[in-house]
Structure 1
Amino acid sequence: MGKWALWGAAGVVGQSVAAALRSQGKPYRVVGRSLGGLKATFGDDPLAEQVTWNPEDAASVRAAVRGVDTLIYLVGVPYQDFRLHPLLMQRTLEAAIAEGVERLVLIGTVYPYGHARTTPVREDHPREPHTFKGRMRKEQEDLVLAADAAGRIRGTILRLPDFYGPGVDKSFLYSAFQAALQGNTANLVGPIDVPHEFVFVPDVGPVVLSLANEPKAYGRFWNLAGAGSTTQRALVERIFQEAGRTPRFRVASKLMLRLLGLGNPFMRELVEMHYLLTHPVLMDDSALRGLLGTVHKTSYEEGIRRTLREMGQTQRSA
């Protein structure tokens, strides 16, 4: 494959994909809205070409994608602006097709499935999102699948569960890692005894590259499950144990989220997705493993150790 572009690269999953490309010595382009942010994250990597885009300017979008063969789409939007997901995807697809990009891989979520009818959920599960955020994510997916079906670009989607790892501050577990390192009380969103799954972010990059390089991957979506079913309580207790501390945490209910949301837009928007904690979507990724052969998953025990170690080193050097 030729030139890779990580579209919305500065997030933790983008950094994982970049690390996988770097390990293979492949040059790549990182695309974001802020050149300063890109330089702060990728400025030390000679393989990374830093390019900005303005999604409101079609010429800017085309310039950012020009010369690219494979586009990994990782663009995030604020939780209160999910209406932007299909709009930004449409603009990116139009530019990518106009510039002759061959392949696009969308990093997606479980939101389009809606309420789980089965446990675990396979890719043939209906996509019937009952939330606004789920509908926006489904519209985004449909754009990719329609462009592939029309032969305009090869497109595929990789669905991720919740994730955790070094530097992952938008995780249900982040507060627990911080609290365990600092001797504080973790803030959790409950219930915390319901089955859940998490993927260790450094594991994602190699899977994305393998999927993008597999011709049979395109025209559909794929699940990537976590390292097994667990609970928030089990992981938080393990995090504190690894840090040598007694677990200390407080748990916010859905009602508490509503109250916190009166002054916090993120908490207000989180209420809509609370069903994922009471009726979780646990994914079956046997199809992905059948396609790729090997899908490495770091155990929760090892992932917790690595996250504590790297977060501790970062805090000491700050």
Structure 2
Amino acid sequence: MGKLALWGAAGAVGRSIADTLRAQAKPYRVVGRSLEGLKATFGGDPLAEAAAWNPEDPASIRAAARGVDTLVYLVGVPYPDFRLHPLLMQRTLEAAIAEGVERLVLVGTVYPYGQPRTTPLREDHPREPHTFKGRMRKEQEDLVLAADAAGRIRGTILRLPDFYGPGVDKSFLHSAFQAALQGGTANLVGPVDVPHEFVFVPDVGPVVLALANEPRAYGRFWNLAGAGAATQRALVEQIFQEAGRPPRFRVASKLMLRLIGLGNPFMRELVEMHYLLTNPVLMDDSALRELLGTVHKTPYDEGIRRTLREMGLRRKSE
């Protein structure tokens, strides 16, 4: 594989992929809206080349894709702006194809599946999103798959469950890690006794790169399941126990989310996806494991210890 670009690199998954590339001594490009922000995050890595893109400027998008063989797409948008997902994907695909990019890997979500009919859920489960966010993610996926089917670019999709880990602040578990370290009370979204799954973010980078390097991966999507089904309550209690504190947490119901959402757009938008807590999508990733041979998953107890340790070290250095 030649030069790889992380499109929307500054998030937790982008940093995990960058860590894996660094460990393999492979040069890569990080692409984001803020060159200054990219340099602040990746400037200490001589293997990383930073490039800014302006999603409103086709020339800017093409310039960021120039000289790249593989593009890993990680672009996030604010929850109220999910309508942008297919639009930004279309612009990126057009620029990548024009610049001769050979492969595109979309790191996606479980949203396109909609309400799960089976547990666990395999890739042959219908994609029937019943939410606006799910429909936008499905449109995004369809663009990638159509471009692959037309022979314009090789495309594949990796679906992730919820995730956690060092530096992951957009996780249902993040508040628990903070509270366990600082002696506070964690804010959770309920119900907290329903089985759920989380993937440890440092495990994602190696999987993404292995998938990008596998010719048989393209033209379809793949599930990456978490380290097993667990409940939020059990994981939060384990987080506090590991930190040496008694568990303290409060739980917001769907009704409370609606009320909080009157003044908080993010919480208001979260109401739509609340079904993932009451009827969660638990994935079967046996196809991915058969394709790649080895898919490492850090057990929850080890991932919790590592997250607490690294978060604690960062607090001391601030």
Q: TM-score, normalised by structure 2?
A: 1.00
Alignment of 1:27-38 (within 5 A): 27-38=27-38
Alignment of 1:224-303 (within 5 A): 224-303=224-303
2:92 alignment partner in structure 1: 92
In the alignment, the residues of structure 1 paired with residue 34 and residue 219 of structure 2 have an alpha-carbon distance, to the nearest angstrom, of 32
In the alignment, the residues of structure 2 paired with residue 166 and residue 19 of structure 1 have an alpha-carbon distance, to the nearest angstrom, of 13
In the alignment, the residues of structure 2 paired with residue 40 and residue 238 of structure 1 have an alpha-carbon distance, to the nearest angstrom, of 33
2:181 alignment partner in structure 1: 181
In the alignment, the residues of structure 2 paired with residue 72 and residue 99 of structure 1 have an alpha-carbon distance, to the nearest angstrom, of 15
1:316 alignment partner in structure 2: 316
In the alignment, the residues of structure 2 paired with residue 289 and residue 188 of structure 1 have an alpha-carbon distance, to the nearest angstrom, of 32
In the alignment, the residues of structure 2 paired with residue 115 and residue 167 of structure 1 have an alpha-carbon distance, to the nearest angstrom, of 30
Residue 149 of structure 2 aligns to which amino acid in structure 1?
Answer: A
Residue 78 of structure 2 aligns to which amino acid in structure 1?
Answer: P
In the alignment, the residues of structure 1 paired with residue 109 and residue 164 of structure 2 have an alpha-carbon distance, to the nearest angstrom, of 14
2:170 aligned counterpart, secondary structure: coil
Residue 94 of structure 1 aligns to which amino acid in structure 2?
Answer: E
In the alignment, the residues of structure 1 paired with residue 210 and residue 63 of structure 2 have an alpha-carbon distance, to the nearest angstrom, of 27
Residue 284 of structure 1 aligns to which amino acid in structure 2?
Answer: D
In the alignment, the residues of structure 2 paired with residue 81 and residue 17 of structure 1 have an alpha-carbon distance, to the nearest angstrom, of 25
1:124 aligned counterpart, secondary structure: coil
Structure 1 stretches of 4+ with a deviation exceeding 6 A read: none
In the alignment, the residues of structure 1 paired with residue 103 and residue 275 of structure 2 have an alpha-carbon distance, to the nearest angstrom, of 34
2:22 matched to 1:22? yes
User: How many residues get paired?
Assistant: 318
- C-alpha deviation, 1:36, in angstroms: 1.2
2:107 aligned counterpart, secondary structure: strand
In the alignment, the residues of structure 2 paired with residue 99 and residue 181 of structure 1 have an alpha-carbon distance, to the nearest angstrom, of 47
In the alignment, the residues of structure 2 paired with residue 179 and residue 2 of structure 1 have an alpha-carbon distance, to the nearest angstrom, of 43
1:192 alignment partner in structure 2: 192
Residue 99 of structure 2 aligns to which amino acid in structure 1?
Answer: E
1:197 aligned counterpart, secondary structure: strand
Alignment of 1:5-16 (within 5 A): 5-16=5-16
In the alignment, the residues of structure 2 paired with residue 285 and residue 174 of structure 1 have an alpha-carbon distance, to the nearest angstrom, of 25
2:137 aligned counterpart, secondary structure: helix
Q: TM-score, normalised by structure 1?
A: 1.00
1:168 alignment partner in structure 2: 168
CA displacement 1:9-43 (0-9 Å, x = unmatched):
00000000001111100000000000111011100
- C-alpha deviation, 1:80, in angstroms: 0.4
In the alignment, the residues of structure 2 paired with residue 19 and residue 317 of structure 1 have an alpha-carbon distance, to the nearest angstrom, of 20
